[in-house]
Amino acid sequence: MEDVTLPLDVERDSYAWVGPLASTVVTVVVGFFALVFAGFSAMACDACSGEKAHGFDSSISTAISVLQVGFLMPAALLLASWGLPWERRNAGRRAMFALMAPLSIVGLFVVSMAIVNWP
């Protein structure tokens, strides 16, 4: 088996896995709590009745669906941060993708809660 070497101008980053791993853990935890909080928000209108309750129920189900489908964006950012070649020249891009994944969940949560027709 041959020993694989990198070209002379490319340095391998031995700590390239740290950012994506930390981002993966934070993104999963933040995504879980965003989904739990959105699910508990459905109880905000338990005492409502009539047209107000119907409008709230339809808007909260739309918001939860938007949140669930929107999780594809942080997943794609995590895949991009893990998938970049582990070279020093990609460290900045890897850090940006890793940082944007949990921040995108926060933004996605704000957008999904803005969809809700609160009582």
Q: How many domains does the chain have?
A: 1
Long-range CB pairs of 53-62 (<8 Å, 24+ gap) are 55/117, 56/116, 56/117, 56/118, 56/119, 59/115, 59/116, 59/117, 60/116, 62/115
**6-29: average pLDDT:** 87
The answer to whether residue 5 is domain-embedded is no
In 3-state terms, what secondary structure has residue 27?
helix
Note the pLDDT tens digit of each residue in 67-97.
999 999 999 999 999 999 989 899 999 999 9
Please check whether residue 35 lies inside any domain of the structure.
Answer: yes
Q: Are 119 and 57 in contact (CB under 8 A)?
A: no
Q: Tell me, yes or no, whether 108 lies in a domain.
A: yes
Q: Which of 4-18, 22-36, 40-54, 61-75 has the lowest mean pLDDT?
A: 4-18
As beta bridge partners, residue 119 has: none
Q: Which domain holds residue 68?
A: 18-42+52-115
Please, which pLDDT band fits residue 105 given cuts at 50, 70 and 90? very high
Confirm whether 1 is domain-assigned: no
Structure tokens at 65: 């669906």
Band of the pLDDT at 8, cuts 50, 70, 90?
low
In our burial notation (b when 16+ CB lie closer than 10 A, e otherwise), range 92-118 reads eebbebbbbbbebbeebbeebbeebee
Q: pLDDT digit string (tens) for 33-52?
A: 999 999 998 888 888 888 88
12 assigned to some structural domain = no
